[in-house]
Amino acid sequence: MKLLLDSTRCQGYGLCQEPAPELIELDDWGYAQVRESAVPQDGEEAAAAAVAACPNSALRLVK
Amino acid sequence: MTGVFSLLPEGRPGLLDPLLSGARMPGGTEDISTYLAAGGYAPLTVTDRLLDRIAAAGLRGRGGAGFPAAVKLRAVRDAPGPPVVVANGEEGEPGSVKDRWLLRHRPHVVLDGIRLAAAMTGAERGFVYLSDAHAERAVCRALAECPPHLRIDVVRAEHTYVAGEETAVVRRIEGGPALPTAKPPRPFQSGVGGAPTLVANAETLARVAVMYSRPDAAAAIAGTHLVTLSGGDGAAALVEVPAGTHLKVLADLCGHGRAGAVLLGGLFGGLYGHGWTDLPLDHDRLNTAGAALGCGALHFLHPRDCPVAVATEAAAYLAAQSARQCGVCVAGTRALAGTLTAVARGEAGGDTADKLHRWSRQLPGRGACGLLDAAARVVGTLLAHFPDRVHAHSGSVCAACQGGTPEDGRRFTVPVP
């Protein structure tokens, strides 16, 4: 699975990082940065939680 | 005035030829009879072989990314649904003039390229995308002179740095604003109206057309570049040169041989200091050297120019040109430009270089288009090539940095010849 961020939608809420600190970091201004778009198998649950946490639907998990 | 020169060996076909040979170009534009006499619009019989020829010759896109043209053509051809072909003549880089020159003076060679790309991909619909009013008139006249077999519409956008980015092109053609969208999908997968769309740079399509009419010289045509040279107080020039030409040769051609540095790829390829004279005009070798050819625009820094001032103006221009769609781009370019401005004014704090280093590594690849990457690269290369010059600005202002920092990119803007 791949975790994709639409940077035009990311508003810097930062809510995605809490459930998925291994996959997402926040930059100096609070915008999300996906560390590695390929999600390891044991990270899929966290990735799905990050997707669900974004109030602006900026994250997508795709095959 | 911007000069027009060719450095091609005798007999090698070039895109500037008709103008340089003094061929009849009423109103400065090559007419249909001149283009036909040069072998243009040859009957479509061997387009499959043309695609193989493009692959064998290694033609790469001339919009900036340098992606292999044959790979893109095949991807569009093989995607489901009837494709669309777009000639992209909207060069966003203020220091590049080649695409507007081609559309103004040789519209037929670009339209011929659309015809051939359509034949290779199976497209039944074409567009010419541009912002330059002079180019638009020339293209419309050319379309009237020689009505094409497929429908070709001209779509005009307002000129901005990002208007020529491929997803912005698609969005504008669909009637929206000329602003980039998130990828994937890329236009070759889903572009205009959802159709697989070839967004090809105007020079790339012109080279395809000449490769069709001059199969004997295909490799040479693919290995030739239109470059725009500018800098300092010296002259600007549009020049056609073989790939691999050393940058020193290009600088000497327009009086910039004493330059201390060069800004490459328009604003996209970063600054290069000591050793720039030995760099060859070649995508891969420039990438290896930590630079980028981009659209082939080179801005030479006069020995009097301060690289900090040049980088600050580039960053300020890019910050002003941000489409303001991506929060990270708005915040990132503002921080880069603001911090560089503080450096130029001698007002930067002690942790400034660390911050700039961190941002220049953290920001590339984060926006929907390459604008943020350009700003990060200007800053990263300034720090890598001119650490002493940056350090020398702590607490004092150099003469070159004393003026303000214009955001309109005037230092980099080259008039179209």
Name which of B183, B360, B366, B372 to mutate to probe chain A: the one with the most chain A Cβ atoms within 10 A of its Cβ.
B366
For residue B310, which amino acid is it?
V
Q: What is the mean pLDDT of residues B5-32?
A: 83
- Asked if B270 contacts B314 with a C-beta cutoff of 8 angstroms, the reply is no
Q: How far is A18 from chain B (nearest CA, A)?
A: 19
Q: How far is A46 from chain B (nearest CA, A)?
A: 21
Mark yes or no for CB contact B326/A4 under 8 Å: no
Q: How far apart are CA B47 and CA B79, in angstroms?
A: 18
Q: How far apart are CA B85 and CA A56, in angstroms?
A: 34
Q: What is the mean pLDDT of residues A40-54?
A: 97
Confidence band of B17 (pLDDT split at 50, 70, 90): confident
Chain CA centroid to CA B79, Å: 26
For residue A5, which amino acid is it?
L
Q: How far is A11 from chain B (nearest CA, A)?
A: 6
Q: What is the mean pLDDT of residues B356-371?
A: 96
Show me where the domains of chain A are located. Answer: 2-62
Q: How far is A7 from chain B (nearest CA, A)?
A: 5
pLDDT at residue B24 tops 70: no
What pLDDT does residue B400 have?
87
Mark yes or no for CB contact B358/A28 under 8 Å: yes
What pLDDT does residue B276 have?
96
Residue of A nearest to B329 (CA): A7
With beta carbons under 8 A apart, name residues in chain B contacting A8.
Answer: 180-182, 325-326, 368
Find the angle CA(A34)-CA(A35)-CA(A39) to the nearest 5 degrees.
Answer: 85
What pLDDT does residue B327 have?
97
Average pLDDT value over all residues in chain B? 94
What pLDDT does residue A58 have?
98
Quick one: residue B231, left, alpha or beta (phi over 0 = left, psi -120 to 50 = alpha)? Answer: left
What pLDDT does residue B277 have?
95
With beta carbons under 8 A apart, name residues in chain A contacting B363.
Answer: 27
pLDDT at residue B285 tops 70: yes
Query: What would the pLDDT profile of B204-236 be if each residue is shown by its tens digit?
Result: 999 999 999 999 999 999 999 999 999 976 689
Enter the tokens of residue B247. Answer: 């940058």
Confidence band of B395 (pLDDT split at 50, 70, 90): confident
pLDDT at residue A2 tops 80: yes
Quick one: residue B324, left, alpha or beta (phi over 0 = left, psi -120 to 50 = alpha)? Answer: left
Q: What is the mean pLDDT of residues B313-329?
A: 97
* Adjacency order of strands within the sheet including B197-201: B151-156, B125-130, B84-88, B197-201
Q: What is the mean pLDDT of residues B197-209?
A: 98
Q: How far is B367 from chain A (nearest CA, A)?
A: 6
pLDDT at residue B319 tops 90: yes
Query: What would the pLDDT profile of A18-35 be if each residue is shown by its tens digit?
Result: 999 999 999 999 999 999
Enter the tokens of residue B221. Answer: 């045509």
Q: What is the CATH number of domain A2-62?
A: 3.30.70.20
Chain CA centroid to CA B289, Å: 19
Query: Could you give the maximum distance between any two Cα atoms of chain A, in Å?
Result: 30
Name which of A9, A10, A31, A60 to mutate to probe chain B: the one with the most chain B Cβ atoms within 10 A of its Cβ.
A31
pLDDT at residue A40 tops 70: yes
Query: Of all helices (H) and strands (E), which one includes residue B208?
Result: helix B202-213
Interface A–B counts its CB contacts (< 8 A) at: 44
A63 in contact with chain B, both atoms CB, cutoff 8 A: no
Q: What is the mean pLDDT of residues B56-68?
A: 96
- Asked if B18 contacts B38 with a C-beta cutoff of 8 angstroms, the reply is yes
- Asked if B255 contacts B5 with a C-beta cutoff of 8 angstroms, the reply is no
pLDDT at residue B26 tops 70: no
Confidence band of B23 (pLDDT split at 50, 70, 90): low
Q: How far is B82 from chain A (nearest CA, A)?
A: 26
What pLDDT does residue B275 have?
95
Query: What is the third-level CATH fold of B307-412?
Result: de novo design (two linked rop proteins) (1.20.1440)
What pLDDT does residue B205 have?
98
For A44, other C-beta atoms within 10 Å of its C-beta total 14
Residues forming beta bridges with residue B198, ordered by sequence position: B85
Mark yes or no for CB contact B182/A9 under 8 Å: yes
What pLDDT does residue B22 have?
65
Residue of B nearest to A11 (CA): B327
A34 in contact with chain B, both atoms CB, cutoff 8 A: no
Lowest-confidence range among B5-19, B283-297, B304-318?
Answer: B5-19
What pLDDT does residue B403 have?
81
pLDDT at residue B147 tops 70: yes
Q: What is the mean pLDDT of residues B48-69?
A: 94
Omega within 30 of 0 (cis) for the link into B185: yes
Show me where the domains of chain B are located. Answer: 13-221, 223-301, 307-412
Mark yes or no for CB contact A28/B182 under 8 Å: no
Q: What is the CATH number of domain B223-301?
A: 3.10.20.600
For B82, other C-beta atoms within 10 Å of its C-beta total 12
Query: What would the pLDDT profile of B232-255 be if each residue is shown by its tens digit?
Result: 766 899 999 999 999 999 999 888
With beta carbons under 8 A apart, name residues in chain A contacting B367.
Answer: 7
Find the angle CA(B103)-CA(B105)-CA(B107) to the nearest 5 degrees.
Answer: 45
Alpha carbon separation from B72 to B89, B130, B213, B269, B386 (Å, rounded): 18, 21, 21, 23, 38
Residue of A nearest to B356 (CA): A28
pTM to 2 decimals? 0.95
Mark yes or no for CB contact A28/B184 under 8 Å: no
Query: What would the pLDDT profile of B113-145 be if each residue is shown by its tens digit?
Result: 999 999 999 999 999 999 999 999 999 999 999
Residue of B nearest to A35 (CA): B362
Share above pLDDT 70 across residues of chain B, in percent, rounded to a whole number: 98
What pLDDT does residue B111 have?
98
Mark yes or no for CB contact A29/B329 under 8 Å: no
With beta carbons under 8 A apart, name residues in chain A contacting B335.
Answer: 28-29
Beta-strand (E) ranges in B112-178? 125-130, 151-156
- Asked if B382 contacts B336 with a C-beta cutoff of 8 angstroms, the reply is no
Q: How far is A45 from chain B (nearest CA, A)?
A: 23
A12 in contact with chain B, both atoms CB, cutoff 8 A: yes
Chain length of chain A: 63
Name which of B167, B179, B322, B328 to mutate to probe chain A: the one with the most chain A Cβ atoms within 10 A of its Cβ.
B328
Find the angle CA(B38)-CA(B61)-CA(B293) to the nearest 5 degrees.
Answer: 115
Select from 1.10.10.10, 3.90.850.10, 3.90.170.10, 3.40.50.11540 the CATH code of B13-221: 3.40.50.11540
Could you please report the per-residue DSSP string of B159-196?
Answer: --SSTTSHHHHHHHHTTS-S----SSSPTTTS-GGGS-
Confidence band of B350 (pLDDT split at 50, 70, 90): confident
Residues forming beta bridges with residue B240, ordered by sequence position: B6, B226
Q: How far is B213 from chain A (nearest CA, A)?
A: 43
Q: How far apart are CA B407 and CA B334, in angstroms?
A: 12
